[in-house]
Chains A and B, each alone.
Chain A
């Protein structure tokens, strides 16, 4: 008996749960490509399926993380996609939200952040026993990266390179990383600030980059109306920004 093809539209729930055969998936994805209402529905249903995943969250074995980090050094990343399809999606998405700025630049950073989240999640478990400052910071970073309300923003830096922020309103904190910032003259450094109605507050110095990326810096105590700013300052440090911000990102 030949099975009747299902009406693609009714497959949304099953699709989100991965409860479709390969042929049904292909059928639905073809439909999805020209049904904006379905795309919205899928995004909403995904919130629920991500919840199902969270109900099962468990820590990965540290050996797995170590292996992945080692192997990732040997694998070449794909160049950013430039096909028309991707460009069309990204242009539409960019119109929707400023969060789409520099999507291809944000990608590599996003994965570094996620990997950091996974790795730090493991570190965090030990933080309660041995509460060194570094471990507490790692714990805080893991909390923000894994927060249920975490959102990711990215923007270009005026002098070159890009910055990515993962922010959680729940924790009033953000995690900040950069990629491809120009190298500074000796005696100068990049400093991060929270700038808003509550005044400009220092949020730390960016560490020196590794492979062009800076490791995550956490800034907590975000208040309403704050923006995150980046300036170039003397190494000695200042309590207020003296340089013109080369990045000013509304949160």
Chain B
């Protein structure tokens, strides 16, 4: 969870702040968690990612973010030294490499960059409708690939 928040928020101390908020929110709402609606880890990452995205959107002016997008690269070096996590990360990255370039870029810009699909469409110069479809197709392919590797 810390890893994904840091990937989105970038700044380490801000990432810590967001994580702290999320963990305390989880604690406060724990009694309302519905285990049947997905794995606990999935629940946590979903909430954490959403908060991270809210934070970057609130913090950064659009112009600033567009400038950053020009050089947006996923910082894979930030990945854990923890072997177990590293293997999992490699598997996901390998699956990402099997996507088409537009699928891959729309997933990484949106998920790690915190951009909306409209912003991604602008950045990649592709119609909004196409981006929405690529995001969905990309996720489906990613999921199938991750499942096949098990």
Chain A residues packing against B (C-beta within 8 Å): 6, 10-14, 16-21, 24, 43-61, 64, 67-68, 71-72, 75-81, 86, 89-90, 93-94, 96-97, 99-100, 103-104, 106-108, 110-111, 113-115, 118, 121, 124-125, 143, 146, 148-152, 154, 166
B143 with A77: CB separation less than 8 A: no
Give the contacts of B23-51 with A (CB-CB under 8 A): 23-24, 26-42, 44-46, 48-50
Report the separation of the CA atoms of residues A243 and B34 in the bound assembly, to the nearest whole angstrom.
32
B107 with A17: CB separation less than 8 A: yes
Residues of A within 8 A of B82 (CB): 57, 59, 121, 124-125
B27 with A14: CB separation less than 8 A: no
Q: Is B68 an interface residue (CB 8 A)?
A: no
A13 with B31: CB separation less than 8 A: no
A56 with B112: CB separation less than 8 A: yes
Give the contacts of B86-103 with A (CB-CB under 8 A): 88-89, 92-93, 95-96
A64 with B31: CB separation less than 8 A: no
Known: A58-B79, A152-B40. Is A45-B139 also a contact (CB below 8 A)?
yes
A64 with B20: CB separation less than 8 A: yes
Residues of B within 8 A of A19 (CB): 110-111, 115-117, 120, 135
* Partner pick for B44 among A48, A97, A114, CB 8 A cutoff: A114
B146 with A47: CB separation less than 8 A: yes
Known: A13-B139, A118-B1. Is A68-B118 also a contact (CB below 8 A)?
no
Known: A18-B111, A107-B32. Is A57-B3 also a contact (CB below 8 A)?
yes
Residues of B within 8 A of A90 (CB): 34, 36
Kindly provide the distance from the CB of A78 to the nearest chain B CB, expressed in whole angstroms: 6
B30 with A51: CB separation less than 8 A: no
Chain B residues packing against A (C-beta within 8 Å): 1-4, 6-7, 16, 19-20, 23-24, 26-42, 44-46, 48-50, 53, 76, 78-82, 84-85, 88-89, 92-93, 95-96, 107, 110-112, 114-118, 120, 128-129, 131-140, 142-143, 146-147, 150
A114 with B36: CB separation less than 8 A: no
Known: A48-B143, A64-B19. Is A148-B31 also a contact (CB below 8 A)?
no
Give B93's nearest chain A residue, CB to CB: A55
B41 with A146: CB separation less than 8 A: yes
* Partner pick for B42 among A17, A50, A80, A106, CB 8 A cutoff: A50
Known: A57-B85, A58-B3, A60-B19. Is A89-B34 also a contact (CB below 8 A)?
yes
* Partner pick for B33 among A111, A115, A146, CB 8 A cutoff: A111
Kindly provide the distance from the CB of A177 to the nearest chain B CB, expressed in whole angstroms: 12
* Partner pick for A50 among B19, B29, B41, B96, CB 8 A cutoff: B41
Known: A18-B49, A56-B78, A151-B39. Is A13-B136 also a contact (CB below 8 A)?
yes
Report the separation of the CA atoms of residues A81 and B29 in the bound assembly, to the nearest whole angstrom.
9
Give B113's nearest chain A residue, CB to CB: A19
B111 with A51: CB separation less than 8 A: no
A111 with B3: CB separation less than 8 A: no
Report the separation of the CA atoms of residues A47 and B49 in the bound assembly, to the nearest whole angstrom.
14
Residues of B within 8 A of A55 (CB): 76, 79, 88-89, 92-93, 96
Report the separation of the CA atoms of residues A103 and B33 in the bound assembly, to the nearest whole angstrom.
7
Known: A58-B80, A125-B82. Is A115-B23 also a contact (CB below 8 A)?
yes
* Partner pick for A52 among B111, B115, B133, CB 8 A cutoff: B111
Residues of A within 8 A of B33 (CB): 103, 106-107, 110-111
Chosen A-B contacts, 7 in total, with CB atoms closer than 8 Å, are A57-B79, A78-B29, A80-B32, A89-B37, A104-B31, A110-B30, A118-B1
